[in-house]
């Protein structure tokens, strides 16, 4: 598999863009991937799946707790029975071998095939809008929950900090350092409800390390190794009136668009606490 350039993450700059024309840089059978990259796709079928790399992508690869987008790519410069050859994208991941590339895993629809989507082919990417919206709602709701917990407990629990989160529909939760007692469930729910009702704007920006320091948020400065070569700004999501997070995910425009967000339970183990939630 040839080594193409880094994939331009179009969704970082235009998260509402659900359709994009771009160029195929490489394509290969799943079985020809490096072992480290095969390990990224647990449900892949070595006999049927291929991996496509494009110059740009609007497909959010799994990461930061957010599931990957799904959708299609259609080769618009060739026809099969009058239709554009179709590649069904089932998952996307950041390449584990070649820095900065996005791997799109999928299968060709009946009548289509890899010969119709060779390097240089122009394709139109189309993201599954329903799933993108759900994942965006879950991701923003996770930040709302994290901000609500911090506002209530940062000064109550020694060593408190936010650790990690999952924004998957079946396992959405935020994890914190410290023991959060069950008595906090209702106050957390009330604060989450407050933040949602206020329809707080959710803004995307790009910050330097100095921007973090000027905002008193040195603790949030990401590892510089996460930056693309030549870049010095990190992508951040800011919930106006609440908190800022370094984040590469997709989001809704205002907190009320998360929809009803329910704090399910608080579980504790080995000095950490997990607060699970759902959106409806």
pTM: 0.93
Tell me the CATH number for domain 132-279.
3.30.980.10
68 Cβ contact list (under 8 Å, min separation 6): 59, 60, 61, 62, 91, 92, 93
Which residues lie across from 83 on neighbouring strands? 80
pLDDT values of the chain reduced to their tens digit, one per residue, 280 residues: 444 578 999 999 998 999 999 999 999 999 999 999 999 999 899 889 999 999 999 999 999 999 999 999 998 876 555 567 799 999 999 999 998 999 999 999 877 778 778 899 999 999 999 999 999 999 999 999 999 999 999 999 999 999 999 999 999 999 999 999 999 999 999 999 999 999 999 999 999 999 999 999 999 999 887 777 778 899 999 999 999 999 999 999 999 999 999 999 999 999 999 999 999 9
**Domain-wise residue ranges, the chain:** 8-127, 132-279
Q: Tell me the CATH architecture of domain 8-127.
A: Beta Barrel (2.40)
Which tokens is 78 given? 């060739």
Tell me how far CA of residue 229 lies from CA of 9, 55, 226, in angstroms. 14, 16, 9
Q: Would you tell me how many other CB atoms lie within 10 Å of the CB of residue 30?
A: 20
């Amino acid at each position: 598999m040839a080594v193409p350039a880094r994939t331009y993450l179009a969704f970082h700059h235009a998260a509402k863009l659900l359709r994009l024309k771009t160029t195929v840089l490489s394509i290969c059978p799943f079985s020809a991937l490096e072992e480290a990259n095969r390990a990224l796709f647990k449900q892949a079928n070595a006999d049927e799946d291929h991996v496509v790399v494009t110059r740009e992508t609007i497909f959010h690869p799994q990461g930061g707790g957010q599931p990957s987008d799904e959708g299609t790519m259609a080769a618009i410069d060739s026809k099969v029975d009058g239709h554009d050859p179709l590649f069904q994208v089932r998952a996307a991941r950041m390449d584990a071998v070649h820095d900065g590339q996005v791997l799109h895993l999928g299968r060709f629809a009946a009548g289509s095939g890899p010969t119709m989507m060779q390097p240089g082919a122009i394709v139109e990417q189309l993201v599954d809008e329903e799933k993108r919206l759900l994942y965006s709602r879950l991701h923003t709701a996770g930040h709302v929950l994290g901000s609500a917990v911090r506002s209530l407990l940062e000064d109550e629990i020694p060593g408190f900090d936010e650790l990690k989160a999952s924004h998957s529909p079946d396992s959405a939760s935020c994890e914190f350092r410290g023991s959060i007692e069950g008595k906090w469930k209702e106050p957390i729910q009330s604060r989450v409800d407050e933040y949602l009702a206020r329809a707080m704007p959710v803004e995307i920006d790009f910050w330097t390390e100095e921007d973090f320091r000027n905002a008193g948020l040195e603790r949030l400065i990401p590892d510089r190794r996460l930056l693309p070569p030549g870049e010095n700004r990190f992508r951040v999501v800011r919930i106006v009136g609440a908190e800022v997070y370094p984040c590469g995910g997709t989001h809704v425009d205002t907190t009320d668009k998360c929809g009803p967000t329910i704090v399910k339970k608080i579980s504790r183990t080995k000095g950490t606490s997990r607060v699970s939630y759902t959106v409806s």
